[in-house]
Structure 1
Amino acid sequence: MRTILRILVLCLGMGTLGVGQAHADLTYAPDTTPDGVSFILVKGSFSYNDELGEFSRLVRTHNASIVTFDSVGGNVAKAMELGRLIRSLGLATFQFRTQECASACSLAFMGGVFRYAEAGSIGVHKSSFRNSNLLSAEEAVSQVQELTAEVMIYMSEMGVDPSLLKLSLKYDSDDIRYLSRSEMEQYRVVTTDMTEVAHAPAEPAPAGTAPQAVPEPPSRLQAFPPAPPPPSSQIARGAREGQPTTPVARTGRVRHPKGRAPMKVAADGKAADVGILRNGTPLTILGDRDRWYRVRVGNITGYMHHTWVYVDQFESGPFDHRHVQIKSFDNLYDALTFAETSSLQVDVYLATNAWYAVTLRGTFEESRAKELLRILKGNKAIPSDSFVTYSNTYVRKVCCN
């Protein structure tokens, strides 16, 4: 049992559970760079008793757009709580090597709508479990399993690859593994590379203007502009002006959950079958009527429903992958509004029926899609009627990168 407990504890991959901490350790320091960018420095160790209301108040009163950290970690649950708060407030997170964001702090960093970090500024390692002697082995295993699932869900929500946990297993809880730039990009810890922005030349002063002495900035944040609004906001503003167009379906392949689908003599599900086609069978699309394609395979012509055909001209993702659909809307504006306010990382697709499908960000292998669906439904993070789909009817992604 102790061996099982140790393995489960290590699977958390970063931070400490922080059981039994009874005092607030975090401090929040608002500041403004010489360029007028308002930011909040979060400093100290995370504990379950930290008051995040003060953080929200400072963000509002100082109109902050960026959060940065100086923390060696602490309570995992509190770090994720702050990360979700950062996401809900639409803030960016920036991290530099002059300060540290290690262990549980890395989870809070993931909350940024936009995330930038210098190589070596984000650290991960195995977790430790405090006061485990107060729990039975069965209770400890149960708590570790529950928190492991919560961390995986959280990382998926924030668009980070949960396989980052595997890397952290290589480093003991008294050691730190600082991520390289390529690793942060690989595991999607960062969302953008702003190196070019950071080193962009300043505009020349007008002719005749005397040069002025500029004081040394208190942090590297002066090099960065305020975080822009989420791309989905830009799309939503244009959603009222017109709807995305649908590309013409010309070629495709059979793709059905049962591995095969019928070709009909007419555009009717009750019509007789011309034949049964296996998944992957290539076909030419001759026309489209009432959500039925008129198709040709070899010298045979018939009809197949939209849901049975993977169209090459559409943007529904890899042929063998699935989507997890969580919502649908009959208009673009409502779909984008839902996407912007969702705590999950989502995409929005135009479908062949002129509705808009909201899905979890990205596509997944079937087993992974079903596991995500089970976990997220079990934690009531997505609607109960969410489902895994082949997405044959998804025409074009309209949001959100």
Structure 2
Amino acid sequence: MNLLRKPIASVGLLALAFAGPAAARLAYELHKTDVGGSFVIVSGSFDYDDSLSEFRELVTREHPTIVGFNSPGGNVLKAMEFGRLIRSLGLQTLQVRQSECASACSLAFMGGVTRLAEPGSIGVHKSSFNDTDAMHVADAVSAVQQLTAEVIGYMSEMGVDPGLLQLSLSYDSNDIRYLSGSEMTRYRLTTSTAPQNLSVQSEAPTSGPPASVREQEEVVASLEVPRARSGIVRYPKGEAALKMAADPEAKAISLVPNGTTVAIDQVFGDWYAVRVGQRTGYMHYTWIRVDQFDEDAGQRRYVQVKSFSTLPAAEAFVKSSPVPLVAHLTARQWFAVTLQNTYEEQEAKDVAKALKAHGLIAPDSIVTLGNTYVRKVCCE
């Protein structure tokens, strides 16, 4: 009887797909940030019989928004299950160089609704499929093909280019290929790229979390949007409509004057469910200055000249501009680039008009109250 006794096939990213228990089971560490948010670091190897209920319960109880990894890989099917759980919970993923995310871990990372990674922080390679159960050759080949198809389907489901699987085949199982930032973008492994000038202490402290955790905390803290809980109405026309539904066409319950305090109960896309005194309704997120955001220009105006989906793109634009600019993280996690200074309303309009006339800022630049701006992230 022809039984397989040696590795028979290599499948990129498929580290120990049907292997036995990993040396270190998954563990979850919750970390708080200075801005009141939290994130989870997942450490250890993905094992075929890991229960993910502990992770689900932690997220339900503590409401973290971001997941990072310190994992060498493990069972591919379990990593994909974990990635789908991350996606179903609406979490983001973030990875820094000083924490490991290699092989099957990259599949779990793909589950993030948005994915942020520092160049060189995620590794892929070719991994061997071993016959541990004296499997027939034909059956083993069929199993490898089926697993490969499942991985390709999963990557497509997560919005990642399956071409990444082919890249991994170029590197033996005893080697690791750490992806550059441009490769992560090309293969859509990331939806954004981590800033490369992370501020990390050069010497490890005598106590406290390790450098990789501190670095992760700093990245998360700078790019995390605090939960909106309260704010004041701030609308260019002096009063904003309290709507019956989260719809611009919905009937207005009343008009709420600028300066009125509102409690924010929930977020529905671009709308807040709010309480104004005894009334409840909905307001567009651009109509409220949120107390939990750092930015507050009062009644002064920003001149917004550009917007970007990633911080590196915003940073590059700011640094190449002939006029002084800054970039702001926004409530919807894109980046708004504005003139460095704020102005009184008419002054802002005059400055914008003059800069447009000289071709120094884009013709579609706008004057705004900046209610959606969370904090400055670049580059004063």
Q: For 2:247, which of 240, 260, 275 is the aligned residue?
A: 240
C-alpha RMSD of the superposition? 3.3
Q: CA deviation at 1:24?
A: 7.2
Task: Summarize the Cα distance change of 1:241–1:100 in structure 2 as closer, same or farther, 3 Å threshold.
Answer: same
Which residue number in structure 1 is paired with residue 91 of structure 2? 91
5 Å matches for 1:274-313? none
2 CA distance for matches of 1:188 and 1:12? 17
The alpha carbon displacement at 1:78 in A equals 0.2
Partner of 1:125: 125
2:219 to 217, 223, 226: 223
> For the Cα contact (< 8 Å) 1:23–1:49, is it kept in 2?
no
For 2:41, the equivalent position in structure 1 comes to 41
CA offsets per residue over residues 54-106 of structure 1, 9 Å max, x none?
A: 00111121111000000000000000000000000000000001101000000
Sequence identity (%):
51
Aligned mates of 2:73, 2:33 — CA distance in 1:
26
- Whichever residue aligns with residue 163 of structure 1, its letter is G
| 1:126-156 deviations in Å (ceiling 9; x for gaps) | 1222344521111111111111111011000
Q: What SS class does the counterpart of residue 86 from structure 1 fall into?
A: helix
Note if contact 2:10-2:129 (Cα within 8 Å) is conserved in structure 1: no
SS in 2 for 1:195: coil
Distance 1:239 1:197 in 2: 40
- The answer on whether the counterparts of 1:72 and 1:103 sit within 8 Å (CA) in structure 2 is yes
**Distance in structure 2 (CA, Å) of the matches to 1:17 and 1:136:** 17
The aligned amino acid for 1:222 is E
Q: Which moved more, 1:71-80 or 1:215-224?
A: 215-224
Distance 1:22-1:45 versus aligned 2 partners, 3 A rule? closer
Contact map agreement 1:65 1:227 (CA 8 A) in 2 = no
- AA partner of residue 219 (structure 1): R
Where 1:41 maps in the other structure, the secondary structure is strand
Q: Say if 1:29 and 1:42, in contact at 8 Å, map to a contact too.
A: yes
Contact 2:118 2:196 in 1 (8 A): no
Structure 1 residue 22, shift from structure 2 partner: 7.8
Offset of residue 196 of structure 1: 9.2
Code of the residue aligned with 1:126 in structure 2: it is K
Counterpart CA distance in 2 for 1:117 and 1:169 is: 22
Q: Can you list the C-alpha shifts for 1:245-300, whole angstroms capped at 9, x where unaligned?
A: xxxxxxxxxxxxxxxxxxxxxxxxxxxxxxxxxxxxxxxxxxxxxxxxxxxxxxxx
Structure 1 counterpart of 2:139 = 139
- Other-structure match for 1:290: none
Rounded to whole Å, the distance in 1 between the matches of 2:197 and 2:63 is 22
Aligned residue identity for 1:110: M
* 2:164 corresponds to: 164
Matches within 5 A, 1:2-401: 9-21=9-21, 25-132=25-132, 134-195=134-195, 218-220=213-215, 221-224=217-220, 225-226=223-224, 240-242=247-249
Q: Is the 8 A contact 1:18 1:74 kept in 2?
A: no
Question: Secondary structure in 2 aligned to 1:102?
Answer: coil
Tell me the amino acid that sits aligned with residue 223 of structure 1. Answer: V
Paired with 1:227 and 1:75, the residues of 2 have a C-alpha distance of 33
What residue in structure 2 maps to residue 318 of structure 1?
none
Aligned to 1:331: none
Aligned to 1:287: none
- 1:291 corresponds to which residue? none
* Aligned residues of 1:12 and 1:147 also touching (Cα < 8 A): no
Q: Secondary structure at the match of 2:83?
A: helix
AA partner of residue 189 (structure 1):
L
Structure 1 consecutive aligned stretches of length 4 or more whose deviation exceeds 4 Å: 196-199, 215-218
- SS of 1:101's equivalent in the other structure is coil
Q: CA 1:149–1:140 in 2, change beyond 3 Å: closer, same or farther?
A: same
Say if 1:135 and 1:113 are closer, same or farther in 2 by CA, change over 3 A. same
- Closer, same or farther: CA 227–160 of 1 in aligned 2, 3 Å: farther
56 and 40 in structure 1: CA distance in 2 versus 1, 3 angstrom threshold: same
Q: Distance in 2 between matches of 1:53 and 1:12?
A: 28
Provide the aligned length of Structure 1 versus Structure 2: 220
Task: Measure, in 2, the Cα distance between the counterparts of 1:187 and 1:2.
Answer: 38
Q: Secondary structure at the match of 1:84?
A: helix
- Structure 2 runs not aligned, ≥5 long: 200-207, 228-243, 251-268, 270-380
Kept in 2, the 8 Å contact 1:92–1:227? The answer is no
- State the alpha-carbon separation in 2 of the partners of residues 124 and 228 from structure 1: 33
Q: TM-score, normalised by structure 2?
A: 0.52
**TM-score between the two structures when normalised by the length of structure 1:** 0.49
Alpha-carbon contact 2:99-2:121 (below 8 Å) kept: yes
How far 1:223 moved relative to its partner?
3.1
Question: How many Å apart are 1:31 and its aligned residue?
Answer: 1.4
Query: Does structure 1 conserve the Cα–Cα contact (< 8 Å) formed by 2:118 and 2:193?
Result: no
User: Is the CA contact (8 Å cut-off) linking 1:66 and 1:227 kept in structure 2?
Assistant: no
